[in-house]
Structure 1
């Protein structure tokens, strides 16, 4: 893990961090609808996997917002240089395993690496869950069966500060555009609404440019 320790004496959110660290339920989730028309109308026909394209866009969004790369360990806050994307991977038995994909800024390189890692994870029999030994990850989960309006995640406790991202079914709406729901769940000690807004803007931009 490569990270910097955040200087609490100069960090503008130090007071907010200390305040929300006292909460029993410090997490909150925001769901927004994103436009995936470029992905579905153009890139899918060119052989691009919409699923892996979404993984890339999510990674781009996370790495565009420093607060989403921050984690705390007791009262020490760290800022990671990079984080892996950890997603659920369906298996042939009807269960799922976890995969861990390093983010890369180049989509073609990310896509090839991502496909290889996911294919291998689908063949494994062990869950490979992160038991807390690392925090340089973000947790991702796709629900392609549902065009949902809100969601939240099972959390082990108030000290879990790893972001969760979920996204749902692609739907062609009345205006002929394709859209999907996406949810970002974060710890309020590290992330405010402004940063959530920046994340969704960065994801939308990535989806439009893939």
Structure 2
């Protein structure tokens, strides 16, 4: 479900109109989060660490209203629930797009994730199906080979895009912490640095606490 935002009364109307006129209205931030507790919990549950931090990412996104805004045909909508379109890698090191519904239950989310991993492994190419065009998602990628400090994305400037893009890189041990780089790209007409900060705070809480 989604609700239309009344631009005439929206406190971000001028921000939205201003940044929507930019050739590149998408901006990005890179930060680090501590995945130590989530990593330990994944081992205790015998689950992939990827499953836990992807689920935690969605929990955090869904807590921040600004990250649930989407621009569709010039109008702004707020979705009740955001899912994930994650790039999943095959054994031959090619990747494909996926669609995994968000559920509060980590176990149910894991079932959807495993089904998509299997579907990707049984396919070729990018899987450019109807799910690839959905806007009620975040675009997510894991880059576990690189502890990046910044990141940019390929962009088609002729095509309007307001879907947040979140990427996680290679973690590193530092004392009792497990520091993970995370890159967040959002449309500036919909979200500011404050909202990205809210997301990072919510993500840390989700990584530290069981689903």
Does the alignment reach a TM-score above 0.5? yes
Where 2:99 maps in the other structure, the secondary structure is strand
Give distance in 2, aligned partners of 1:160 and 1:47: 37
- C-alpha displacement of 1:150: 0.8
The match for 2:43 is 44
The match for 1:59 is 58
Equivalent pair of 1:96/1:122 in contact (CA under 8 Å): no
- C-alpha displacement of 1:88: 0.9
The CA deviation string for residues 33-60 of structure 1, in whole angstroms up to 9 with x for no partner, is 1001112234324312110111101111
The match for 1:77 is 76
* Counterpart mapping for 1:1-210 below 5 A: 2-129=1-128, 133-157=133-157, 159-173=160-174, 175-210=175-210
Equivalent pair of 2:144/2:168 in contact (CA under 8 Å): yes
Give distance in 2, aligned partners of 1:208 and 1:62: 16
Task: Please tell me the root mean square deviation across aligned C-alpha atoms, in Å.
Answer: 1.7
TM-score (normalizing by structure 1): 0.92
Where 1:124 maps in the other structure, the secondary structure is coil
Q: Tell me which moved more, 199-208 or 69-78.
A: 69-78
Where 1:55 maps in the other structure, the secondary structure is helix
TM-score (normalizing by structure 2): 0.92
The CA deviation string for residues 98-154 of structure 1, in whole angstroms up to 9 with x for no partner, is 110011112222122222222222221241236774311210000001111111111
Where 1:150 maps in the other structure, the secondary structure is coil
Give distance in 1, aligned partners of 2:200 and 2:20: 25
Aligned length: 208
Give distance in 2, aligned partners of 1:93 and 1:42: 29
Where 1:38 maps in the other structure, the secondary structure is helix
Q: Which runs of 5 or more residues in structure 2 are unaligned?
A: none
Q: Tell me which moved more, 118-127 or 28-37.
A: 118-127
Change (3 A) 1:87 1:182: same
- C-alpha displacement of 1:176: 2.9
Where 2:71 maps in the other structure, the secondary structure is strand
Give distance in 1, aligned partners of 2:129 and 2:68: 17
